[in-house]
């Protein structure tokens, strides 16, 4: 029997199921796992210069050399997550000889996965894709589920496609060189899973946050795998975000607005999610009677992941207007994912504008300022 950590996590998809492999030391064996998918006319690794600098030797040894892969580098800044980058990569693939039987391997964080996934969905109307996430956010969230896309000046991820990978390879060893800000932001996404689906995971995070911040291998392996299991269960039941999958956006309505008004230059995605989750917890207390102690626990744990950027110096009205551009908005109503209790969440479209604005006014105190007692948040 395989050890629990070696058992593939299966994801159902209308395009066919696929597996997520999660174990330490997986990257050196990536070519073998990719080879099990079948034959391809060519293999193209798409990654960023900074990922290549950090892990290029491992990528060459584990993927490029055995698969004779072409390597294409591109800017993975959030500000470069746009249609111009998509066109640039598509043209690189044409010049590199990629055809409809080629395989694209996305190696990097969330921006790399989203952009390359969208390219794979569009190039020759769809070519095979493998995701190799190298950041904590990507490993526990964005690499699984098939959501791909790019930003417009008007909002985040407004142009994209559902296009699942053929295989996702998650190697926690790649997190060793991850900058602290990106690592801490990834912990915010893991906290999200505890809030929306697993109170036991949330309690584990409360008890082990110091170990996780120190990148303890065993603790990390546990929370990454559990997060992937939750993500796989949710997207297998709701691939196209028609209902249940919306819970994965807990905190993201606020987060996307924060990113948008700062032109994707102030926050790491996970940092914006951290602030967004604290806002969502407060809004839950205001509107769906989330118990004060649950709100306090969410805020306290989220703040323990590390310092967050200051709240942007923009008007509350501008932030709320940015929320209206969120892709979850329906019939001009801003939808929020809220958690009435730890371990459960759902979407709401009946939240008043006044309640959301009250939370936004309070938001500037969240990064570092003193908080009042739980029952006096709002």
242-263 tens-digit pLDDT = 889 999 999 999 999 999 899 8
Is 371 buried (19+), middle (13-18) or exposed (0-12) by CB count in 10 A? middle
pLDDT at 3: 57
Instruction: For residue 218, give the nearest of 3, 1, 2 by alpha carbon.
Output: 3
Task: Let me know: does 120 contact 51? Beta carbons within 8 Å.
Answer: no
Nearest CA to 115 out of 162, 91, 74, 149 is that of: 149
- Provide the CB-side half-sphere exposure for 266 (13 A, CA): 19
Note if 189 is an active site residue. yes
Among 177, 203, 234, which residue terminates a domain?
Answer: 177
Say yes or no: 285 and 361 in one domain. yes
Please indicate whether residue 249 is annotated as part of the active site.
Answer: yes
Shared domain for 284 and 321, answered yes or no, is yes
According to the model, what pLDDT value does residue 242 have? 82
Residues 247 and 292 in one domain: yes
Catalytic residue among 147, 156, 226, 335: 147
pLDDT tens digits, the chain, 378 residues: what are they?
455 667 899 999 988 899 999 999 999 999 999 999 999 999 999 999 999 999 999 999 999 999 999 999 999 998 899 999 999 999 999 999 999 999 999 999 999 999 999 999 999 999 999 999 999 999 999 999 999 999 988 778 889 999 999 999 999 999 999 999 999 999 999 999 999 999 999 999 999 999 999 999 999 999 999 999 999 999 999 998 888 999 999 999 999 999 989 988 899 889 999 999 999 999 999 999 999 999 999 999 999 998 999 999 999 999 998 888 765 665 457 889 999 999 999 999 889 999 999 999 988 888 765 554 444 444
Please name which of 166, 127, 167, 144 lies closest in space to residue 26, comparing C-alpha atoms.
167
Residues 16 and 140 in one domain: yes
> Within this chain, do residues 72 and 49 fall inside the same structural domain, yes or no?
yes
Can you give the CATH number for the domain in which 49 is found?
3.40.50.1970
Is 207 catalytic? The answer is: no
194 with 272, same domain: the answer is yes
Residues 193 and 152 placed together within one structural domain of the fold: no
Is residue 247 domain-shared with residue 147, that is, in the same domain? no
Name the residue range of residue 236's domain.
180-376
Instruction: Tokens for 292, please give them.
Output: 């004060």
End-to-end CA distance of the chain: 53
Residue 256 annotated in active site: yes
Domain boundary among 162, 177, 192: 177
Residues 156 and 202 in one domain: no
Residues 169 and 265 in one domain: no
* Total domain count, the chain: 2
User: Token pair 């990507």 is at which residue?
Assistant: 138
| Residue 147 known to be catalytic | yes
* 84-91 contact pairs (CB < 8 A, 24+): 85/115, 85/150, 86/115, 86/118, 86/119, 86/122, 86/150, 89/46, 89/115, 89/116, 89/119, 90/119, 90/122, 90/123
The CATH number of the domain holding residue 222 is 1.20.1090.10
3-state secondary structure of 291: coil
303 is catalytic: no
Please tell me which residue in 23, 33, 78, 249 is annotated as part of the active site.
249
Question: What pLDDT is stored for residue 99 in this prediction?
Answer: 98
Catalytic annotation present for 364:
no
Name residues whose C-beta falls within 8 Å of residue 146's C-beta, 6 or more positions apart in sequence: 13, 15, 117, 162, 163, 164, 165, 235, 239
Residues 272 and 235 in one domain: yes
């Amino acid at each position: 029997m395989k050890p629990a950590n070696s058992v593939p996590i299966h994801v159902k998809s209308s395009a066919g199921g696929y597996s997520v492999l999660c174990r330490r030391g997986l990257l050196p064996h990536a070519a073998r796992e990719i080879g099990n998918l079948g034959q391809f006319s060519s293999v193209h690794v798409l990654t960023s210069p900074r990922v290549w600098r950090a892990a290029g030797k491992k990528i060459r040894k584990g993927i490029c050399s055995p698969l004779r892969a072409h390597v294409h580098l591109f800017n993975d800044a959030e500000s470069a997550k746009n249609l111009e980058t998509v066109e640039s990569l598509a043209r690189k693939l044409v010049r590199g000889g990629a055809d409809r039987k080629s395989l694209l391997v996305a190696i990097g964080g969330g921006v790399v996965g989203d952009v390359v996934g969208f390219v794979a969905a569009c190039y020759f109307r769809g070519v095979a894709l493998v995701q190799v996430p190298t950041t904590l956010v990507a490993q526990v969230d964005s690499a699984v589920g098939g959501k791909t896309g790019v930003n417009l000046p008007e909002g985040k991820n407004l142009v994209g496609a559902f296009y699942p990978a053929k295989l996702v390879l998650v190697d926690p060893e790649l997190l060793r060189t991850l900058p602290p800000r990106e690592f801490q932001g990834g912990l915010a996404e893991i906290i999200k899973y505890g809030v929306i689906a697993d109170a036991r995971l949330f309690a584990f995070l409360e008890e082990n946050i110091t170990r996780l911040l120190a990148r303890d291998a065993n603790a990390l392996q546990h929370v990454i795998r559990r997060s992937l299991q939750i993500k796989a269960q949710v997207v297998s039941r709701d691939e196209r975000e028609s209902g249940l999958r919306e819970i994965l956006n807990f905190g993201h309505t606020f987060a996307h607005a924060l990113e948008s008004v700062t032109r994707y230059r102030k926050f790491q995605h996970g940092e914006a999610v951290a602030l967004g989750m604290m806002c969502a917890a407060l809004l839950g207390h205001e509107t769906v009677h989330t118990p004060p102690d649950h709100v306090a626990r969410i805020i306290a744990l989220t703040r323990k992941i590390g310092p967050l950027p200051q709240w942007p110096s923009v008007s509350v009205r501008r932030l709320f207007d940015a929320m209206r551009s969120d892709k979850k908005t329906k019939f001009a109503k801003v939808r929020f994912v809220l958690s009435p209790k730890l371990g459960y969440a759902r979407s709401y479209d009946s939240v008043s504008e006044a309640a959301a604005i009250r939370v936004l006014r309070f938001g500037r105190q969240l990064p570092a300022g003193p908080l009042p007692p739980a029952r006096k948040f709002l």
